[in-house]
Amino acid sequence: MRQPVASILILADAALSEASIPSPVRASLGHVREQAEWLGDLLQDVLEPDGASTADDKAPDLTRIASDAVQAAQATYRGDLHLQWSRNSMSVLGSAIELRRAIANVVSNATRAAGPDGTVVVELDSAGDHVLLTVDDDGPGFGLIRRGIGLGLRAATRGLKSYGGRIEYGRSRMGGTRVVLVLRALGPP
C-alpha cells in the first residue's frame, strides 16, 4: 500500500518540475500531491498506530485541518462549498490524522447529499471548553440519499470518542442535514 502512494508522490513531483505545464494543471498536481501525502499519513497511522503519534498530534490546529479538507473537497465538488470560522487558530485534543479523516468523511457525505448544484457550509466556532465543527447542507436530509458502505461515520465517531469528542446530528437550517463534531479545546476558548 505504501509503494503506490510513494509512486504517486514521485510522479507528481516529476510533473511539477516541468516548467512548461500550465498553471491550472500545476494546481491540480499540487492537490494530487497533497492528497497522496495525506493518504500516506493515514496509512502510516493505520499500519503503525502507536508509532505515528507525535506531540503535534495532541494539539492539532482544527482551522488548518478543516481548511485542508475543504480545499481538497472543493477540487472535485461543483457546488458551493465554503468554510467559515470565528478565530484564526483553534487547537483541539486529538490526532490530526483522525480529525482529517472525520472531517473529510462528513464533508463528503454533505456534498453527496447536496448534489452538484447544492450548498455545503463548514463552520468552526468555540463553545466553552469545546470547539464545534458544523457541516450544514441543503440536501434532502439525513438518511434520504443513496447510501455508501456506511463505515465512515462509525469510524469517525469511534476515533473522536477516544479524545473526548462526539458527533451530533440534526436538521440543517438550510433544509438538509447538520452534523456537528464536538471536540475538546486546548487552551483558552
116 within some domain: yes
DSSP per-residue letters across the chain: -HHHHHHHHHHHHHHHT-TTS-HHHHHHHHHHHHHHHHHHHHHHHHHSTTTS--GGGGS-BHHHHHHHHHHHHHTT--SEEEEEESSS--BBSS-HHHHHHHHHHHHHHHHHHH-TT-EEEEEEEEETTEEEEEEEE-SS-TT-S----S-HHHHHHHHHHTTT-EEEEEE-TTSSEEEEEEEEB-S--
Read off the CATH number of the domain in which 70 is found: 3.30.565.10
Q: What residue ranges of the chain have pLDDT lower than 50?
A: 52-57, 149, 189
Domain count, the chain: 2
Q: What is the pLDDT of residue 55?
A: 38
In a domain, 189, yes or no: no
The pLDDT, as a whole number, for residue 127 is 86
Domain extent, residue 19, equals 2-47
Residue 33 has what pLDDT?
76
64 and 146: one domain? Answer: yes
- pLDDT of 18: 86
